[in-house]
Amino acid sequence: MISEMSERCQTPKVTYITGPMSAGKTEKLHTKMGEFDSTHIHYVALKPIMDVRDAGIKPRGMSAIDGHECIGFDQLGNVDIESLVLAGIDTAVVDEAHMAGFDMDRQPLSDVYLPTMERWKRLGIVRVFMAGLDVAANGDRFRMYTDAKDFGAKIVHLTAKCEYPIDPDENRPTCREVAKRSQIFELASGKPFYRGSLPSILPAGSRDDIGFRPVCQEHYALLRSDTIDFS
Ligand SMILES: [Zn+2]
């Protein structure tokens, strides 16, 4: 069964770590890299250069010096894997993997996952760990996630606690239920943007008037009247 599977899907052994904002995806990746370091597995860490907030790969709140160095890419297929394999690398780590499904103009790319993974496998990459979102704040599923799932990657789902504000005057200011989705909201009012008005990935350029938070199903599926339009 296993050998049949590996004959059909000639990809490295891929693990896709997913979950909403603040679920600890990058932290998990960071821990994995620590394991690779201590077991002498030679890896390369990769991250899309679109919207890079930090140069390295590190969980939120960790200082840059404790982060892992990584190589930024414009398109995953453009990473010079040949040279990396020649240098002894057989493992790749990809942070913000869902963004690899878009080009620098933020247009969705049609086929990234399988051609890239098949090529990497041929060149000598044996394992890949990716961390990225599964579902966009507007409800769209990211192609990197669905392809990884469809082509046999191991999917690790992490959850967070819902950060929807309930009653700021109480001891329980946020909902805290299990959160599997992400929400984008206006910082000033705390009001979520209507899902139907959001793109899959936000337009270029960071905006300091919006925030991201993990939410439970109830606070994800809000009435339109409880939301505001994104513009
Ligand atoms: Zn909630």
pLDDT digits (tens, 9 = 90+) for 96-143: 999 999 998 889 998 999 999 999 999 999 999 999 999 998 999 999
The verdict on 66 and 165 lying in the same domain is no
Residue range 149-175: average pLDDT? 89
Label residue 202 by pLDDT band (50, 70, 90): confident
The verdict on residue 220 lying in a domain is yes
Residue 78 is assigned to a structural domain of this protein: yes
Q: What's the confidence (pLDDT) of residue 70?
A: 85
pTM higher than the cut 0.75: yes
Looking at the fold, whether 43 and 94 belong to one and the same domain comes out as yes
One domain for residues 87 and 153: yes
Residue 63 scores a pLDDT above 70: no
Q: How far is the CA of 140 from the centre of ligand 1 (A)?
A: 20
DSSP 108: B
Ion ligand 1 contact residues with beta carbon within 5 A: 162, 164, 175, 177, 216, 219
Tell me whether strands 181-186 and 210-215 are parallel, antiparallel or unpaired.
antiparallel
CA of 19 to the centre of ligand 1 (A): 15
Using the CB atoms, write b or e for 173-208: b if 16+ within 10 Å: ebbeeebbbbbbbeeeeeebbbbeebebbbeeeeee
Task: Assess whether 165 and 139 both reside in one domain.
Answer: no
Q: Kindly state whether residue 54 falls inside one of the protein's structural domains.
A: yes
Enclosing domain of residue 38: 2-158
Alpha carbon distance 181, 198 (integer Å): 14
24 lies in a domain? yes
> How many Cα atoms within 13 Å fall on the side-chain side of residue 164?
23
Residue 231 lies in a domain: no
Q: How far is the CA of 141 from the centre of ligand 1 (A)?
A: 21
Number of domains in the chain: 2
Within this chain, do residues 151 and 109 fall inside the same structural domain, yes or no? yes
